[in-house]
Amino acid sequence: MSVLPPIRRDRIIAQLPQCFIKEAALHTKEEFDNKVKTACQEQRTGTVGFKISKVIVVGDLAVGKTCLINRFCKDTFDKNYKATIGVDFEMERFEVLGVPFSLQLWDTAGQERFKCIASTYYRGAQIVIIVFDLTDVASLGHTRQWLEDALKENDPTSVQLFIVGTKKDLSSPAQYNQIEQDALKIAQEMSAEYWAVSSLTGENVKEFFFRVASLAFEMNVLAELEKSGTRQIGDVVRITRNSSNLYSVSKKKQSGCCQ
């Protein structure tokens, strides 16, 4: 069993990152829930520090799903686009309010011929990120179908949704303002949180993923507290900043196509 490396210093979250725009946010609180903060201070977060929140990233071909993930995880941008075959994933580790927490980012293919492969990896997702191209209104219209496909494999009540517009650097102000209004409307219909980013420049990318990690962490801790009831969570396992990681991860890549 391998031990994961220490959490990077630029992956430490001490305060709740704010939403991109209040009109389409999962919530607009400025701080973590008091129950979550108290549990972390008292080291009563149960098994949360050992959990991995599964994130699936879906959307049309060439909207920038892989570039978005690579900008955050590797701080790189590859202009030579290569379509994802099947699925791939990256693991990102954070420290949230002093507790280790990880996101497993599943990058899924947007091509129709790979859909049956990618959809098999949707199950068990706690976060669904639906990506569209801010310069392509058709990709925004397809977000509803991507949501429907993702929710076929998951309980809608236990999934947090984000809708993310990419290529903000390529969108003119007039074009951006128009598509953002449409995106906000769709996000509100989906009960999703809306963000606009640029993987080329890095604009809003780190802020977005920090927001995702923080809301996923908060959801996990609150669920743990509710599940424990009057039982002391600290009796199950105590998480500290120096706790060893008891899980290992091996990267998997799926290739091939549907018959």
**Looking at the predicted structure, is the pLDDT value of residue 247 above 90?**
no
pLDDT of 242 > 50? The answer is no
pLDDT tens per residue, range 43-101: 888 777 778 899 999 999 999 999 999 999 999 987 766 656 557 889 999 999 999 99
Q: Are 205 and 72 in contact (CB under 8 A)?
A: yes
What pLDDT, on a 0 to 100 scale, did the predictor assign at position 108? 84
Q: Rounded mean pLDDT of 25-38?
A: 96
Q: Which CATH architecture has domain 9-235?
A: 3-Layer(aba) Sandwich (3.40)
d(CA 171, CA 46): 45
Which carries the bigger pLDDT value, residue 167 or residue 110?
167
User: Of all residues in the chain, what percent are helix, strand and coil, respectively (each to 5)?
Assistant: 40, 20, 40
Quickly state the pLDDT bin for 231 (edges 50, 70, 90): very low
Please state the rounded mean pLDDT for residues 34-50.
Answer: 87
How much is the pLDDT for 118? 61
Is residue 47 within 8 A of residue 236, CB to CB? The reply is: yes
Q: Which helix (H) or strand (E) holds 226?
A: helix 205-228
Nearest to 196 by CA among 178, 218, 217: 178
- pTM for the whole thing? 0.84
Average pLDDT of every residue of the chain: 85
DSSP annotation string for 134-160: TT-HHHHHTHHHHHHHHHTTS-GGG-E
pLDDT, position 250: 40
**Per-residue pLDDT for 21 more than 50?**
yes
- Arithmetic mean of pLDDT, 174-198: 96
Domain limits, the chain: 9-235
Measure the CA–CA gap between 179 and 135, rounded to whole angstroms: 8
Say which DSSP state 254 is in: B
